[in-house]
Structures are given as structure tokens and as C-alpha cells.
């Protein structure tokens, strides 16, 4: 049972087009997650305790994507979850920018951060589109 599971993961990584890249991207995302490198106390002292839990949700979504890398239906669900988290954190960032306009105006760094965020959101949307398309093709073949 477990050997079959790992064989499916190996086959997915060897024979599919974007899953190997996605595997390494998600692994990088897991290793860079702030939950692994900071504590809740760190974020509480920075007066952002909810940021820790947002990173924790990203970690759960990323680990879930790694676990389901060979199951496109479940993988697409976890990518959707990741995109919802991404949308939430982007809205939170934009609200923060505009709520502090009286003390700190919209600066070039904010523009750069939003541009990078747009790029990543586009990338994850493309991945979700590819996964949904693959799920559709598999369901039509049955």
C-alpha cells in the first residue's frame, strides 16, 4: 500500500509535465514558511499574531499539496485553498497600506510587493487551471 503510494509519486514526478516543478516549488514554500523559523511569540511582539496563523495555514496547504501531488483532484482543491489564502493575505496587505496612508504613503516598495504578488497569483491560477483541465480530461475518459 505505502510502496504503491510512493511509486505513484515517483511516476508522477517522472512522467507528468508540471507536477515535478510544482513539487519543488511547494517544497521550497514549505522550507521557507515562517512557522518553521519563528514562533508565535515573535509575531505577538510584532503586534501581528494573526500573521503566524496565516503562515500556519499556508504550511498546512503546502504540505497537503505535497501529499496529494499524485492525485490531481485533491491537489486542485489544495491549490484552490492556497489561492484563497493568497487572496486573503493580499487584501489584508492592501487594506494595511491604505489604512496607514496618513503616516506612510504608498511607496515604490508597496508597488513592487503588489507586482510580485500579482505574478505569484497568476502563476498559482495557471497551475489551478492546468489541474482542473487535467481533472476534466480524466473524468471524460471514464
Q: What is the DSSP string of 51-110?
A: HHHHHHHHHHHHHHHHHTTT-HHHHHHHHHHHHHHHHHHHHHHHHHHHHTTTTS---HHH
Contact 121, 90 (CB under 8 A): yes
- pLDDT tens, the chain, 142 aa long: 888 888 887 776 666 667 777 888 899 999 999 989 999 899 899 888 888 999 999 999 999 999 998 888 999 999 999 999 999 999 888 888 877 766 666 778 888 989 999 998 988 898 888 888 888 888 888 7
Query: For 40-49, what is each residue's pLDDT tens digit?
Result: 899 899 888 8
Closest CA to 61 of 39, 77, 42: 77
**Residue-level pLDDT at 15:** 64
Amino acid at each position: 500500500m505505502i510502496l504503491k503510494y510512493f511509486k505513484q509519486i515517483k511516476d508522477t514526478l517522472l512522467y507528468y509535465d508540471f507536477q515535478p516543478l510544482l513539487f519543488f516549488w511547494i517544497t521550497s514554500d514549505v522550507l521557507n514558511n515562517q512557522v518553521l523559523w519563528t514562533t508565535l511569540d515573535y509575531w505577538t511582539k510584532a503586534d501581528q499574531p494573526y500573521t503566524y496563523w496565516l503562515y500556519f495555514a499556508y504550511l498546512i496547504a503546502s504540505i497537503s499539496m505535497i501529499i496529494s501531488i499524485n492525485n490531481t483532484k485533491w491537489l486542485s482543491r489544495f491549490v484552490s485553498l492556497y489561492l484563497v489564502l493568497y487572496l486573503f493575505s493580499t487584501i489584508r496587505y492592501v487594506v494595511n497600506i491604505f489604512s496607514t496612508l496618513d503616516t506612510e504613503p504608498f511607496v515604490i516598495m508597496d508597488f513592487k510587493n503588489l507586482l510580485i504578488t500579482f505574478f505569484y497569483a497568476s502563476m498559482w491560477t495557471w497551475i489551478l487551471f492546468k489541474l482542473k483541465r487535467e481533472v476534466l480530461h480524466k473524468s471524460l475518459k471514464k
